[in-house]
Amino acid sequence: MSRVYNFSAGPAALPFEVLDRIKGDLFDWQGTGMSVMEVSHRGKEFVQLAARAEKNLRDLLSIPDNYSVLFLQGGATMQMAMVPLNLTAPGDTADYVVTGSWGKKAASEAAKFCNVRLAADASNSGFTHIPDESDWTRSDIAAYLHYTPNETIAGVEFDYIPGGDAPLVADMSSNILSQPIDVSRFGVIYAGAQKNIGPAGLTLVIVKNELLDRARPNNPHLMTWKSYAESDSMTNTPPTFAWYVADLVFRWLQEQGGVQAMSEINDRKSGKLYSAIDASEFYSNPVAADCRSRMNVPFLLANAELDARFLEESHAAGLTNLKGHRSVGGMRASIYNAVSEEAVDALIGFMDEFARKYA
């Protein structure tokens, strides 16, 4: 068996221990004589798994009791439509803070359903900073304020939770479970699973119960958070395999010491990678120091003509998926929870060697 160091932005690396457990479970899960993919989601074993996954997630993030935890499908992108469909009536206003491509996409999707105002927009700077919160222009009548705590493409992450009276809606796809968060400050948190939670196909929504009654009455059933909240997320057949893996990932996180321990490891991993980039004249990162992402580290080579060679040689050295998003170019190392410190050390070692060879 040969495993690589995988820096993919998503679907992303999963913990080895989780993959190993899946392998062991595959043909006979919990003595059922079947894989978890072959059992009914309404059977005793799966219902127990679902309840355990929810409980463990609640413990990991200290989710208050007045919040529902929903396990659904459609990815974070479907939530970009579900958010306005569940929180506004036609003609209502919603504020969006755009600090990267995903926030921009969320705003344009919501504009199909409600009146979207950009309270702040960092697109002019090429998404390299977060506009000062005191400069945001918020609407007094906004049904909610949407932002993206971590922009996966630009590598821009908030190190604080915005204030204000409107319910806060956060697309936490790429930094959920990377650090402790005060869930009570949010109205809604959503996240596609394929970075820090498990495989693609599962989407998490954490929603304050008092917001569940704002959904448009003619929403499709599957586009209504309340339907999931009232059916333990069994509104229809859920993504059972992805849910099973998420349960294993939550248990793995607990074994690592929870999100506080992960946060310390993530600080160390990203800190040493940014230090290596900043110390070199060969590599650079354009993002303002106070909002650099701890999960996605984009970097440019001084000579873009060497990009293809960097990718080729890093791949040959067992370091994969380092190509930056096409909209920013260069490289990007996504270093989610399951990417070990050893992988980051190997990347730094490779970068150093490559710079010495070609500078």
Q: Which residues bind ligand PLP (CB under 6 A)?
A: 10, 75-77, 102, 148, 152, 171, 173-174, 192
In the complex, minimum distance from the CB of residue 174 to ligand PLP, in angstroms, rounded to a whole number: 4
Nearer of residues 74 and 258 to ligand PLP, judged by Cβ: 74
Start-to-end CA distance of the chain, whole Å, equals 35
Q: Give pairs for 211-217: CB < 8 Å, separation 24+.
A: 211/86, 211/87, 211/167, 211/187, 212/68, 212/86, 214/86, 214/87, 214/88, 214/143, 215/85, 215/86, 215/87, 216/85, 216/86, 216/88, 216/89, 216/90
Supply the minimum distance, in Å, between the C-beta of residue 81 and ligand PLP.
Answer: 11
Nearer Cβ to ligand PLP, position 10 or 84?
A: 10
Structure tokens at 130: 């977060």
Shortest approach of ligand PLP to residue 71 CB, angstroms?
Answer: 14
What are residue 117's phi and psi, to 5 degrees? -115, 135
In the bound state with ligand PLP, the residue whose beta carbon lies nearer, of 15 and 103, is: 103
Residue whose CB is less far from ligand PLP, 174 or 285: 174
Q: What angle do CA 74, 239, 199 make, to 5 degrees?
A: 80
User: In 4-64, which ranges are E strands?
Assistant: 5-6
Which two structure tokens, joined as six digits, stand for 51?
């309840």
> What three-state secondary structure class fits 194?
coil
Strands (E), the chain: 5-6, 67-72, 93-98, 115-121, 142-147, 150-151, 156-157, 168-171, 188-192, 203-208, 283-284, 296-301, 319-320, 331-334
- Our CB check for ligand PLP shows the closer of 39 and 107 to be 107
DSSP string, 275-337: HHHHH-SSEE--S-GGGB-SSEEEEEESSGGGHHHHHHHHHHTTEE--BPPTTT-SEEEE--T
* Smallest separation, CB 98 to ligand PLP (Å): 12
For ligand PLP, the closer of residues 102 and 282 by Cβ is 102
With beta carbons less than 8 A apart as the criterion, state whether 171 and 146 touch: yes
Q: Determine how many CB atoms are found less than 10 A away from the CB of residue 210.
A: 11
User: Minimal distance in Å, beta carbon 187 to ligand PLP?
Assistant: 17
- The C-alpha atoms of residue 148 and residue 151 are separated, in whole angstroms, by 6
Q: Phi and psi for 162 in degrees, rounded to 5?
A: -60, 155
Q: Tell me the closest approach of the beta carbon of residue 322 to ligand PLP, in angstroms.
A: 16
In angstroms, the CA 165 to CA 156 distance is 24
User: Which CB atom, from 155 or from 192, has the smaller least distance to ligand PLP?
Assistant: 192
Active-site residue list: 102, 171, 195
What's the min distance (Å) between Cβ of 197 and ligand PLP? 11
